[in-house]
Structure 1
Amino acid sequence: MQHGFILEDLPESQVWLRQALSSSFPGIAIVVAETLQEAGSLLRNGPAPDIALIDLGLPDGSGVEIIELTQRLSPPTLCIVTSIYDDDGHVFPALRAGAQGYLLKDQPIDSIVQALQGIAAGEPPLSPAIARRMLTFFNRASVASTSALTVRETEVLRFIAKGMTQAETARLLGISQHTVSGYVKDLYRKLNVSSRAEAALLARDMGLV
C-alpha cells in the first residue's frame, strides 16, 4: 500500500485514522478530504489510492457516492467504510456500492490496525458486529423463497427492489397506495426484514431483479 485516502470531516477522527493507516502500512502517503466535493476533486486529479477509508455521514451528503466514484475511477482501490453507523440502511447500501470492508469507529485503534493488516492475508476488514449482521442477513436470504409469496406480493417486491416508491408501485399496478402498503407489511413479515434496503437485497438474491 503506497497511497492512502481518508474521507472524514471530524478532525479528531482524521488523526486516529491517519495513525491507523500509518501503523498498518508504514511509509504510506495519505491524503485527507473533509467533504464529498473535495474528495471528488482529489480522486479525479490525484494518484489513485490503493486504499480508501470512507465515512458515510458527511456535511454535503453520503460517502456512498464516493465509494461509487472510486470504483468507477479506480476499480483496484480497496474501499473501506469507517463509520459509527451499523444499521442496515447504511451497511448494505455501502457494500452494494462497492465497499470491501466496514469498520466501526467505536473499536479500539489496535483493532482497526489489526483489521487493516489482515488485508495482506486476504481477510476482509469487517468489524465483528458488521460480520454478524451480514451473516444474519444472508442466512435469512438462503431460506427466503418466492414460494411463500403471492403473485402480487412478488410484483410489489420486484418494484421495491427497483427503487420505486409505494405511490409509483400503486400507479403501475393499478391499485391503491393503501393496498400496496398492506402488501409491503406482509412482505416484511414473510421475509423477516424490517427495511426497504433489506427487502431489495433479498429480491436480488432471489433473482427478481
Structure 2
Amino acid sequence: MAIKVLIVEDNPVARSFLCRVVRESFSDDIAITEAGDLETARRQVGLRDAKSGEMPADPFKLVLVDLELPDGNGMELLAELARYPATKIVTTLYSDDDHLFPALQCGADGYLLKEDRFEVLVEELQKIVRGQPPLSPAIARRLLGHFRQGPGGTGGAAEPALGSGSGFQSSRPMALGRGAPLDHERLTPRESEVLTYLSKGFTIKEIANLMGIKWFTVNDHIKSIYKKLNVSSRAEAAVLASKQGLV
C-alpha cells in the first residue's frame, strides 16, 4: 500500500518542487495529494473527523505545510491536526523566531526552508526514517543558539528535547528513574518488539525490514512508545526499558 503524503502549498512551482523532494527522499511507493489552501487541506484530511477523534482508516502519514496560505495561516492547520496521526513538517521561507517557535508549539515535527538546495531537503526529510526531526541547517543552528542561551539570555544550558512524539518540547525530559514507574503492560506486543530493536541500535528502516512492515508504521509505534513511557528519545526509552527488564 502506498504511503499517503499531503503537500499544502499555494505556489504551483514550489508545490511541484516539494513533490520531487518527497519522491526522492523515500523508497516506498508514495501517493501525493496536493492542496493549495487551508480549505482544501481540511477537506482532504477529513478534519471534522480528526477533531472529534474519529480518524480515517487510511490517514496521511506525512503532511508538509506552508505557513502563508491564501485563506489563512498554516499554523491554524497544525493546531487543528494536533491529534491527527501524521508527521507534520513546516515548509516555508521564514526562518525567524516569530514563525519558528509558534510553529513548533502548534505541533510541527520539523521545520524546513524551501530556499534550501534540493539535496539538503532530501537529506533532512530522510531523517524521519531514523527517528530524527527534519530541520534545515539554519533552523538547527537557531534552535541550538536559543537553547544554549537559555531563557532570559542567562547563558543557561537548557537543552531542547526533540523527540518524534507529539512535536518539540522546550523543557528538559523527565529524569530517568524518577516520576511514575513504567507500566510496561500497556505496551502492545508490536511496540515491545519495536522497543527491543530500538534498544539494540537499529534504525527505523532496519526495524521495518526486520518486522516486515512500513517504516511509517514503525514511526507510529515509536510515537506511541514515547508517549506511554513518558520519554522523548530512543536513548531514554532504551535505558528505562532496560531498568524495567523489558529488553
TM range (shorter): 0.5 to 0.7
Pick which of 111-120 and 87-96 moved more.
111-120
TM-score when normalising by structure 2: 0.55
Structure 2 residue ranges without an equivalent (≥5)? 48-55, 155-169, 173-247
Q: Which runs of 4+ in 1 moved over 4 A?
A: none
The number of aligned residues is: 146
Partner-residue secondary structure (3-state), 1:99 = coil
Q: Deviations over 1:37-68 (max 9, x none)?
A: 11111111774210111100111111011111
Give secondary structure in 2 for the equivalent of 1:120: helix
Q: Which amino acid aligns with 1:13?
A: A
Q: Counterparts of 1:88 and 1:114 in 2: how far apart (Å)?
A: 23
Unaligned runs of 5+ in 1: 145-190, 194-203
Structure having the higher Rg: 1
Identity %: 40
1:136-175 equivalences in 2 (<5 Å): 136-141=145-150, 144=151
CA–CA separation in structure 2 for the residues paired with 1:205 and 1:61: 30
- What's the RMSD between the two structures over aligned residues? 2.1
CA distance in 2, matches of 1:97, 1:120: 22
One-letter amino acid of the counterpart of residue 69, structure 2: L
Contact 1:71 1:77 in 2 (8 A): no
- Could you list the per-position Cα deviations for residues 144-198 of structure 1 after superposition, in whole angstroms to 9, with x for gaps in the alignment? 4xxxxxxxxxxxxxxxxxxxxxxxxxxxxxxxxxxxxxxxxxxxxxx249xxxxx
Flag the structure with more relative contact order, 1 or 2, with Cα contacts below 8 A and sequence separation at least 6. Answer: 1
Matched position secondary structure for 2:95 = coil
Structure-to-structure mapping, 1:24-103, within 5 angstroms: 24-26=25-27, 27-44=29-46, 47-72=58-83, 74=84, 76-103=85-112
- Structural mapping, 1:129-140, within 5 Å: 129-140=138-149
Would the aligned equivalents of 1:40 and 1:69 in 2 still touch at CA under 8 Å?
no
Specify the SS of the correspondent of 2:41. Answer: helix
Match of 1:104 among 113, 123, 126: 113
For 1:140, the aligned partner's letter is Q
